Amino acid sequence: MCCSINLLGVAELNFWSALVLLGVGWNFLFVGATTRLTRTYDAREKAKVQALNDFLIFGTVALSSFSSGALLTGFGWRMVQLAVLPFVAIAAIAVLWLKLRAWRVPAPHYARL
């Protein structure tokens, strides 16, 4: 929805609406992924797994920030929005796959705590 609003125009209301939706989406994905991550490791692996997770998330954010700037400069605002859509589709497919898998496979003993 954020990309759709951004594709509708570059008015101030478009930016505010898209940023609110982006923030809500980021929070749901970040909290959901972090919660899911805590169910995948033993207590002795906690520090390493959390560190790797934070590195991957914030490294990807930094890379995306620089890439979007280059994309905006070279190809314009519309292309920045369209370039995001394959990543949104991959995330949506991954979430659906994990949800369907969770319905079919019983949770491991440590995930039920």
pLDDT digits (tens, 9 = 90+) for 42-90: 888 888 998 999 999 999 999 999 999 999 999 999 999 999 999 999 9
Could you give the 3-state DSSP secondary structure of residue 60?
A: helix
Query: Whose structure tokens read 């039920």?
Result: 112
Instruction: Give the model's pLDDT for residue 69.
Output: 92
CA distance 70 to 90: 22
Report which residue type is found at 33: A
pLDDT band of residue 98 (cuts 50, 70, 90) is confident
Instruction: Give the model's pLDDT for residue 43.
Output: 85
The radius of gyration computed from the CA coordinates of the chain, to the nearest angstrom, equals 17
Instruction: Give the model's pLDDT for residue 4.
Output: 92
CA distance 74 to 82: 14
What is the value of pTM for the model shown? Answer: 0.71
Instruction: Give the model's pLDDT for residue 51.
Output: 92
Instruction: Give the model's pLDDT for residue 85.
Output: 93
